[in-house]
């Protein structure tokens, strides 16, 4: 909701705090202000109105009332004063027919004759411009003003373009088409409620006007509309025809039909003021309101407030808060009974009132319960326990845990609204995805310091009849790597370890040469109930920071050096790190041995594998040679050291 600070401030004769302070107060106690932007000599506030506040706060008055309550300021009824008008004789004898009160809860029409269409006064143009709306003409601007002032959408028809005197609010009977004010053609069927005259659709009720009775520069006589429509109907139609307007947004959030009468009154006043001539005649309101809104009273006691908030607020204070909120209330036994204002459709149970009290009283006054008694521990979740047990066993064997994507190209459960062809199904197994993850990771095996890629996952898969947790383990060696144990053997060895540690036989549900998948839930079913959470998984350091992944290629180089026996690996590494600098992204010691030389001396050889990569460019051969030369020179300069 776009809100003008100046406009709001007019409700308080300029007594609002400065804009930043005002925005903070609103954010902390009512609705979050997303942004404040200076527009001319005003400020635009972008206020995120929560769904429960949208009945009353998609307008300046609603937000002004929030400020009034929070700051204990008197809030004027409108941002400005309006002059009264007199009812006169109009030639058109307007009739309104509502086909079904469930679709249209109230419809007020009014004829005004002999108006002057033209530009709006400066104050009105400025207000609309601040909130990002273009001024169109005095009549349209007046309707937009009323909507943004008190939240009721309004519409104006050219009275002379109507045939006869009757306006009907009804569903489309024969499929029809309407050309909307913005020139679009919309097909209408019986699901659409229209404002119609002489069996022609003048407007899509609550959403968009049509061109048939559009006002233009020659308009003299008008029919004003102030109505209330079924929110679900407006929402469904708006979604189906893909037109969302400021009006439809307000209707679909549900407005009280009570508002329509007040809105018609101030719109009439404003039009007489800014578009009136000495010949202007205002007709009676033609108000069809079959089932008036019920008045709601809600009672609450100080005890009930305390029971929810854990905070004692006296009856007196609660009554004062209701006064700040401009709620009429009276005592009834230990209850304070509030007459809920018509527009506050969000206040229906006592918890709603408690929220209002909390807003005004202050969220910052909520306390901790320091008397929380020491508690017994929770219960052990068996499935979670064994997932961690398996993760512990596998990580001990050098396997890393990945989380694969939940969607797949094929499967048993298909999405009705998938976003891409390769994400049309829920994964039916983990093995298919794992082939890709293994392949993918082999490309980075040096970068991730895993010469042989060893990964696993425990996650949900979705079969025809059920979802279950699956466990998959995979091993893959990059083609270029030699001399390691066969993937298949590594996989079988780790499965044997799992079977030994868990004490059960594992049945594969899917397998490839280097991947095995198991039904994890079935494994858990065979295991005994754990007594405590006694598993320690490897954890990152608390202050660990993630190193961004470079998009540039990396290069791998080995360096091996003979050092006098007793030289520590840290000493070697310190020199390498210093010389390699930021380009060294990964390193590992891959070989170490001590050798006796014929002269009797013993030397220890350390072999490091270095991975070099830049964050901003592809390393050239010269750069790599440069780095390696610096490292080798530095190592060789140590007494008794010799790079092999």
Partner 1 sequence: MENKAEKGHIHPVTQFINRANAIFYEMGFTLVDGPELETEHYNFDALNVPKDHPARDMQDTFWVKQSENEKEKKLLRTQTSAVQIRYMEGKQPPFKMVCFGKVFRNEATDATHEMVFHQLEGLMIDKDVTMADLKSTLNTFFDKFFERNVDVRFRPSFFPFVEPGLEVDISCFKCNGGEAGCPICKGTGWVEIAGAGMVHPKVLSGVGVNPKEWQGFAFGLGVDRIIMLKYGIDDIRLLYSGDLRLVNQF
Q: How far apart are CA 420 and CA 568, in angstroms?
A: 54
Single out the segment in contact with partner 1 by CB under 8 A; choices: 14-22, 172-180, 256-264, 445-453.
Answer: 445-453
Place of tokens 């799992």: 498
Footprint of partner 1 on 534-553 (CB under 8 A): 537-540, 542, 544-549
Please list, in sequence order, all residues whose beta carbon lies within 8 angstroms of the beta carbon of residue 342, skipping any fewer than 6 positions away. Answer: 256, 258, 259, 293, 295
Q: What is the dihedral of CA 608, 611, 612, 614, to 10 degrees?
A: -150
565: contact with partner 1 by CB under 8 A: no
557: contact with partner 1 by CB under 8 A: no
Footprint of partner 1 on 301-340 (CB under 8 A): 307-311
Q: 527, 518, 524, 590: which is closest to 559 by C-alpha?
A: 590
- Decide: 615 and 552 in contact? Cβ < 8 Å: yes
For partner 1, the binding residue among 27, 137, 605, 614 (CB under 8 A) is 27
Instruction: Tell me the CA distances in angstroms from 215 to 158, 274, 320, 403, 541, one per residue in order.
Output: 5, 16, 48, 60, 69
Burial 280-296 (b: 16+ CB within 10 A, else e): bbbbebbebbeeebeee
**Residue 72 or residue 414: which is nearer to partner 1 going by CB?**
414
Q: Rg of the chain's alpha carbons, rounded to an integer?
A: 37
388: contact with partner 1 by CB under 8 A: yes
**Residue 13 or residue 501: which is nearer to partner 1 going by CB?**
501
Footprint of partner 1 on 39-98 (CB under 8 A): 50-54
Nearest distance, CB of residue 249 and partner 1, angstroms: 9
Footprint of partner 1 on 190-219 (CB under 8 A): none
Six token digits for residue 164: 């006869």
617: contact with partner 1 by CB under 8 A: no
Please list, in sequence order, all residues whose beta carbon lies within 8 angstroms of the beta carbon of residue 96, skipping any fewer than 6 positions away. Answer: 107, 108, 109, 166, 167, 168, 169, 286, 288
Single out the segment in contact with partner 1 by CB under 8 A; choices: 203-211, 286-294, 565-573, 622-630.
Answer: 565-573
581: contact with partner 1 by CB under 8 A: no
Long-range contacts of 419-422, Cβ-Cβ distance < 8 Å, separation of 24 or more: none
Beta strands in 492-573 (DSSP E): 508-512, 515-519, 555-564
**Residue 157 or residue 322: which is nearer to partner 1 going by CB?**
322
Q: How far apart are CA 202 and CA 208, in angstroms?
A: 9
Nearest distance, CB of residue 621 and partner 1, angstroms: 24
Residue 463 half-sphere exposure toward CB, CA atoms < 13 A: 8
525: contact with partner 1 by CB under 8 A: no
For partner 1, the binding residue among 397, 522, 579, 623 (CB under 8 A) is 397
Footprint of partner 1 on 117-176 (CB under 8 A): none
Nearest distance, CB of residue 9 and partner 1, angstroms: 22
Q: 166, 155, 261, 164: which is closest to 207 by C-alpha?
A: 155
**Residue 220 or residue 586: which is nearer to partner 1 going by CB?**
586
Nearest distance, CB of residue 487 and partner 1, angstroms: 16
**Residue 130 or residue 519: which is nearer to partner 1 going by CB?**
519
Single out the segment in contact with partner 1 by CB under 8 A; choices: 82-90, 287-295, 442-450, 504-512.
Answer: 442-450
For partner 1, the binding residue among 413, 607, 624, 643 (CB under 8 A) is 413
Single out the segment in contact with partner 1 by CB under 8 A; choices: 175-183, 270-278, 417-425, 631-639.
Answer: 417-425
Size of the site for partner 1 (CB under 8 A): 106
**Residue 363 or residue 597: which is nearer to partner 1 going by CB?**
363
- Collapsed DSSP state (helix, strand, coil) of residue 440: helix
Single out the segment in contact with partner 1 by CB under 8 A; choices: 111-119, 270-278, 365-373, 475-483.
Answer: 365-373
Nearest distance, CB of residue 450 and partner 1, angstroms: 6
Six token digits for residue 363: 């969220």
Q: How far apart are CA 234 and CA 241, in angstroms?
A: 11
Q: How far apart are CA 624 and CA 557, in angstroms?
A: 9
- Decide: 547 and 630 in contact? Cβ < 8 Å: no
Footprint of partner 1 on 238-297 (CB under 8 A): 252-253
For partner 1, the binding residue among 41, 379, 528, 639 (CB under 8 A) is 379
Pairing of strands 425-426, 407-408: antiparallel
Nearest distance, CB of residue 368 and partner 1, angstroms: 4
614: contact with partner 1 by CB under 8 A: no
**Residue 145 or residue 641: which is nearer to partner 1 going by CB?**
641
Nearest distance, CB of residue 451 and partner 1, angstroms: 8
**Residue 479 or residue 542: which is nearer to partner 1 going by CB?**
542
Nearest distance, CB of residue 343 and partner 1, angstroms: 17
**Residue 90 or residue 357: which is nearer to partner 1 going by CB?**
357
Nearest distance, CB of residue 229 and partner 1, angstroms: 14
**Residue 78 or residue 456: which is nearer to partner 1 going by CB?**
456
Q: How far apart are CA 123 and CA 121, in angstroms?
A: 6
Q: 127, 88, 107, 136: which is closest to 272 by C-alpha?
A: 88
């Amino acid at each position: 909701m776009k809100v003008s600070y100046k406009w709001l401030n007019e409700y308080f004769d300029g007594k609002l705090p400065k804009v930043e302070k005002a925005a903070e107060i609103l954010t902390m106690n009512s609705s979050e202000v997303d942004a404040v932007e200076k527009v001319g000599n005003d400020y635009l506030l972008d206020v995120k109105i929560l769904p429960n506040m949208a009945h009353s706060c998609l307008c300046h008055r609603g937000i002004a009332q929030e400020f009034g309550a929070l700051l204990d300021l008197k809030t004027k009824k409108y941002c400005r004063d309006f002059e009264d008008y007199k009812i006169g004789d109009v030639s058109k004898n307007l009739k309104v027919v509502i086909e079904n009160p469930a679709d249209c809860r109230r419809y007020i029409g009014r004829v005004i004759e002999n108006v002057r269409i033209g530009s709006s006064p400066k104050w009105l143009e400025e207000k609309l411009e601040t909130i990002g709306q273009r001024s169109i003409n005095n009549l349209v601007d007046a309707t937009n003003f009323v909507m943004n002032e008190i939240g009721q959408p309004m519409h104006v028809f050219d009275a002379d373009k109507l045939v006869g005197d009757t306006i009907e609010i009804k569903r489309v009977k024969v499929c029809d088409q309407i050309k909307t004010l913005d020139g679009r053609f919309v097909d209408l069927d019986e699901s659409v409620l229209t404002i119609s005259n002489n069996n022609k659709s003048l407007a899509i009720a609550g959403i968009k006007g049509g061109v048939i009775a559009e006002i233009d520069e020659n308009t003299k006589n008008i029919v004003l509309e102030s109505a209330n429509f079924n929110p679900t109907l407006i929402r469904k139609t708006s979604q189906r025809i893909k037109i969302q307007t400021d009006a439809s947004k307000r209707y679909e959030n549900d407005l009280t039909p009570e508002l329509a009468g007040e809105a018609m009154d101030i719109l009439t006043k404003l039009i007489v003021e800014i578009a009136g001539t000495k010949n202007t005649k205002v007709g009676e309101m033609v108000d069809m309101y079959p089932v008036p809104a019920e008045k709601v009273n809600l009672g609450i006691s100080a005890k009930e407030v305390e029971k929810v908030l854990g905070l004692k607020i006296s009856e007196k204070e609660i009554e004062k808060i209701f006064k700040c909120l401009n709620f009429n209330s009276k005592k009834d036994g230990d209850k304070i009974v509030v007459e809920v204002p018509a527009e506050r459709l969000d206040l229906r149970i006592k918890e709603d009132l408690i929220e209002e009290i909390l807003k005004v009283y202050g969220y910052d006054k909520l306390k901790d319960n320091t008397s929380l008694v020491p508690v017994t521990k929770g219960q052990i979740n068996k499935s979670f326990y064994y997932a961690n047990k398996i993760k512990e066993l596998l990580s001990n064997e050098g396997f890393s845990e990945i989380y694969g994507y939940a969607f797949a190209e094929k499967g048993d459960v298909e999405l009705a609204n998938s976003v891409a062809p390769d994400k049309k199904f829920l994964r039916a197994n983990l093995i298919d995805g794992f082939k890709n993850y293994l392949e993918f990771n082999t490309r980075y095996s040096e970068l991730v310091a895993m010469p042989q890629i060893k990964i696993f996952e425990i996650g949900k898969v979705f079969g025809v009849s059920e979802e279950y947790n699956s466990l998959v383990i995979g091993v893959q060696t990059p083609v270029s790597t030699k001399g390691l144990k066969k993937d298949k053997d590594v996989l079988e060895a780790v499965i044997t370890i799992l079977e030994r540690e868990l004490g059960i036989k594992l049945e594969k549900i899917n397998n490839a040469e280097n991947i095995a998948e198991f039904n994890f839930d079935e494994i858990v079913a065979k295991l005994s109930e754990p007594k405590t959470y006694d598993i320690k998984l490897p954890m990152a350091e608390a202050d660990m920071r993630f190193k961004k992944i470079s998009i540039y290629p990396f290069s791998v180089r080995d360096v091996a050096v003979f050092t006098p026996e007793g030289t520590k690996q840290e000493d070697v590494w310190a020199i390498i790190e210093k010389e390699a600098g930021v380009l060294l992204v990964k390193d590992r010691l891959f070989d170490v041995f001590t050798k006796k030389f014929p002269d009797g001396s013993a030397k220890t050889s350390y072999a490091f594998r270095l991975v070099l990569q830049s964050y901003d460019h592809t390393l050239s051969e010269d750069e790599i040679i440069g780095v390696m030369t610096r490292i080798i020179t530095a190592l060789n300069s140590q007494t008794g050291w010799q790079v092999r």
